[in-house]
């Protein structure tokens, strides 16, 4: 740890506790409940026969207020054996991918004090493999809790999950459960990183994490230090870093599919904003609860890193290159000032009108770097604007872009993993708000449509390459536990990017967004 010597950070601290083998959850697909479980759940609808293990009639359950609406749970008292929970799914013909994941999460939260649990999904009108994936995702994501610096939290870690199905379904369900484990592991890694205190995870620390994970996941990892970043001419990143005592880092990760197992696929570039802590710089943020979330201003970079670690396990046949732009944004005597002009890689000059509009500055360098590799498309993800939060809230992220087919693929990926995207217009009539009298661009537009003007700024650096921009400022964190979204960093975008990367197909370069 680069700051450990004066912050007294224990050597035992891990920025990725979810990957510790001691914290691994054993997921088994079985035909009968294992001996020694602490809790067993049954997914039930509002009609039909109840499982044999449930001896309470429906009339009595209704009297207890349980009518099997989606997400509703009930502890059924048992004299012997594991605790028994019922979880409602609603009518069988209304069960969707998202609602099944939510039901599994509802069981996990109801049984939060039990380390060994089992779940009977019953008859679900979805493919068996998908059932295994969704249940595993829902349970593992819901039982996540960040306790790396709070050992006295009282949180009961999940040790094992049994998924109980008919023997003829076991193989397909197990395949799906394996995929669910991979997706949940990647998401929980992103959560770990975004939840880590900024004193415990600097740009150099994140680079060290990326090197270790890259070696384990067959990723080509290149780390650019400050001197190399100067050589690259990345003035946006260097400008934001100017007020910090911590060095910046560019983390480049490349995943190449095993050509012996799959035909060459498409080439996708991902860019992640990695502001390890955002004070606002000279344009200092107020000391309100929002400051607590600014350690999560690197949630985009965390999502990209989490996704890259899972590509090999998912057998992704596309090549994926990622650039993570990492620094904190601090006020000091050397900090970037209002009126400064930064020189972005490639030569574009940017006048700084607000030092708290720093994300777009570091992302501009990365978009240029990504474009130099001539990928089939570029997708960036960033906690970029409060305007996206104000417009769409905490459940839906904004998506902009220059290619409608690419945007459509991103939206479809989000729908598949229940990470909602809503397309906002890249309205070019607002572009003039970014004009500067002394530079090519300014880093701030007017007081309206802030998410759009930020996206228009980024669009200046992608050229003709199809591009999509995900603004996750609203979805990066959950203020309380809700379904599979655990309080704190959500890891939003990790599973979405994995879905997009594994299914990505090249899009026409001349297919502008609507």
CA distances, 125 to each of 121, 144, 173 (Å): 11, 28, 13
Residue 250 main-chain phi, psi, to 5 deg: -105, 125
Is 273 one of the catalytic residues? no
* Distance (Å, whole) CA 474 – CA 120: 34
CB atoms within 10 A of CB 441: 22
Catalytic residue among 217, 267, 285, 312: 285
CB 143 within 8 A of CB 484: no
Sign of CA dihedral 326, 328, 334, 340: positive
Is 510 one of the catalytic residues? no
> How close are the terminal C-alpha atoms of the chain, in Å?
47
For tokens 């999460």, name the residue. 105
262: Cα within 13 Å, side-chain hemisphere: 14
In this structure, what token pair is assigned to residue 403? 């290619």
DSSP, collapsed to helix, strand or coil, labels residue 121 as coil
* Distance (Å, whole) CA 110 – CA 108: 6
Sign of CA dihedral 238, 241, 246, 249: negative
Catalytic residue among 179, 360, 485, 495: 360
CB 400 within 8 A of CB 472: no
* Distance (Å, whole) CA 93 – CA 350: 55
* Distance (Å, whole) CA 310 – CA 90: 33
For the annotated catalytic residues, the residue numbers are 285, 360
């Amino acid at each position: 740890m680069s700051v450990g010597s004066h912050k007294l950070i224990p050597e035992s601290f891990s920025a990725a506790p979810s990957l510790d083998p001691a914290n691994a959850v054993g997921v088994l697909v079985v035909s009968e409940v294992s001996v020694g479980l602490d809790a067993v759940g049954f997914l039930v609808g509002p009609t039909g026969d109840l499982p044999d293990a449930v001896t309470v009639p429906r009339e009595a359950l209704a009297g207890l207020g349980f009518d099997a609406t989606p997400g509703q749970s009930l502890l059924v008292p048992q004299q012997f054996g594991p605790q028994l929970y019922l979880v409602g799914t609603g009518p069988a013909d209304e069960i969707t991918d998202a609602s099944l994941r939510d039901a599994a999460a509802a069981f996990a939260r109801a049984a939060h004090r039990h380390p060994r649990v089992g779940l009977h999904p019953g008859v679900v009108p979805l493919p068996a493999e998908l059932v295994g994936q969704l249940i595993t995702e829902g349970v593992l994501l819901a039982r996540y809790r960040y306790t790396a610096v709070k050992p006295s939290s009282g949180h009961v870690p999940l040790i094992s999950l049994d998924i109980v199905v008919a023997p003829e379904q076991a193989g397909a369900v197990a395949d799906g459960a394996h995929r669910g484990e991979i997706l949940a592991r990647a998401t929980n890694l992103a959560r770990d990183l975004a939840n880590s205190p900024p004193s415990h995870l600097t740009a150099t620390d994140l680079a060290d994490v990326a090197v270790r994970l890259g070696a384990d996941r067959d990723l080509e990892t290149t780390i650019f230090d400050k001197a190399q970043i100067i050589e690259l001419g990345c003035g946006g990143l260097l400008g934001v870093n100017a007020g910090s005592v911590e060095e910046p880092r560019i983390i480049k990760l490349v995943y190449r599919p095993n050509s012996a197992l799959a035909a060459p696929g498409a080439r996708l570039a991902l860019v992640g904003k990695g502001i390890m802590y955002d004070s606002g710089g000279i344009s200092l943020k107020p000391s309100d609860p929002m400051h607590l979330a600014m350690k999560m201003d690197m949630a985009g970079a965390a999502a990209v890193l989490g996704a890259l670690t899972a590509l090999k396990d998912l057998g992704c046949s596309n090549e994926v290159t990622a650039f993570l732009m990492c620094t904190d944004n601090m006020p000091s005597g050397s900090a970037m000032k209002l009126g400064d002009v930064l020189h972005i890689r490639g030569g574009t000059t940017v006048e700084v009108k607000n030092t708290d509009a720093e994300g777009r500055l570091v992302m501009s360098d990365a978009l240029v770097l990504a474009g130099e590799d001539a990928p089939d498309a570029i997708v960036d993800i960033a906690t970029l604007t409060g305007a996206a939060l104000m417009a769409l809230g905490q459940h839906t992220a904004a998506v902009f872009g220059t290619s409608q087919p690419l945007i459509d693929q991103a939206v479809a990926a989000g729908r598949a993993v229940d990470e909602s995207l809503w397309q906002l217009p890249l309205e070019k009539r607002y572009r003039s708000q970014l004009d500067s009298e002394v530079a090519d661009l300014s880093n701030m537009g007017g007081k309206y449509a802030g998410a759009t003007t930020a996206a228009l700024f980024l669009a200046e650096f992608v050229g003709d390459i199809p591009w999509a921009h995900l603004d996750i400022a609203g979805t990066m964190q959950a203020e309380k536990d809700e379904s599979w979204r655990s309080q704190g960093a959500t890891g939003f975008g990790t599973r979405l990017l994995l879905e997009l990367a594994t299914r990505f197909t090249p899009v026409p370069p001349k297919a502008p967004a609507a």
